[in-house]
Amino acid sequence: MINSTQVSYFMLSFFFDTGLIKYLFFFILMSLYIVIISANVFLIVVICMHRSLHEPMYIFLCSLFMNELYGSTGLFPFLLIQILSDVHTVSVSFCFLQIFCVYYYGSVEFLNLAVMSYDRYLAICHPLHYNTLMTFNKVSMLIALTWLLPFFVVVCTIRLSGTLQLCGNIINKVYCDNYSIVKLACSDTTVINIYGLIITCIVVFGPLILILYTYIKILKVCFSGSKQTRQKAVSTCTPHLASLLNFFFGSFFEIVQSRFDMSNLPMMLRIFLSLYWLTCQPLFNPVLYGLKMCKIRTICKSLFGCRVSKRLDLQ
């Protein structure tokens, strides 16, 4: 419960008057949001409708695409309203709601990518035992862990931040950020700093160690295995690695931009760095997996091929 802040609203200082150009920004972001929603929904429907894709790897992908939809919806509508607005303020309650959405999206994304790396490890390093190791119950448990653990972590984070007494209300971003609010505190932040360190170890370093371990094992199999094994590893791991790197770079930019003084950089670049991991990842993943995953690509081609042929027949 948020009841100890001494402010009634926050000011987002990174929004500035751009005149008529704001309509261009609005159109670009609206188009990007529509593409993200359309691409992720399309791939979710494809995976759900085709029984050949009801395998652990594609179920985890479906979970990833659902998180992209959630994360985008937690950011884009707010940005679009703020771009057209003349007053860039947000209530305390809504600000913490957005913090929940953003942090929950990032935590689920990271854990989902870690679970997917574990799935690829079992498929490549233990192919004969894959079906017995990755059962339906295990898949369900991993997905539940991916979505439930971040929920409790983020709720506890917001509860701690909500008890801080604030001596300011200016957030140097275009969306609400928990660390920005902590920096505004004039009360003791020792507890929340210790909690943040513990959570970082659990939510970040835990999955990161799992990811590094699985890919070290996969690389060993690739170097010692047959050409067919290497080809399978490359075809299934390339999109996942690209998604991981994109998310890591985006998160790294966000952490650096939030924790260190970046006032020497142009404001537009700072805005881009803070939005990169929230905007590029939801667009990057469906395009990447749709093009690189053979089964998904084949089904998509057949769907579009059928539509084109039907149109030609009608003409």
Which domain covers residue 124, as residue numbers? 9-305
Tell me the pLDDT band of 5, cut-offs 50, 70 and 90.
Answer: low
Residue 25 belongs to a domain: yes
Each residue's pLDDT tens digit, 75-118: 899 888 888 887 788 888 899 999 999 999 999 999 999 999 99
| pLDDT level of residue 277 (50, 70, 90 thresholds) | confident
Q: What is the 3-state secondary structure (H, E, C) of 209-256?
A: HHHHHHHHHHHHHHHHCCHHHHHHHHHHHHHHHHHHHHHHHHHHHHHH
Which residue type occupies 155? V
Residue 310 in any domain: the answer is no
pLDDT at 164: 84
pLDDT at residue 295, rounded to an integer: 73
d(CA 31, CA 39): 12
**Residue 1 within any structural domain of the chain:** no
Q: How many domains does the chain have?
A: 1
Q: Does any domain span residue 184?
A: yes
Show the tokens assigned to 177.
Answer: 């950020």
Is the confidence at residue 148, as pLDDT, over 90? yes
CATH number at residue 42: 1.20.1070.10
pLDDT of residue 305: 62
Q: What is the pLDDT of residues 36-87, one digit of tens each?
A: 999 999 999 888 888 888 889 899 999 999 999 999 998 899 888 888 887 7
CA dist 260 → 179, 232, 263, 303 (Å):
11, 42, 9, 48
Q: Is residue 3 included in any domain, yes or no? A: no
pTM here is 0.88
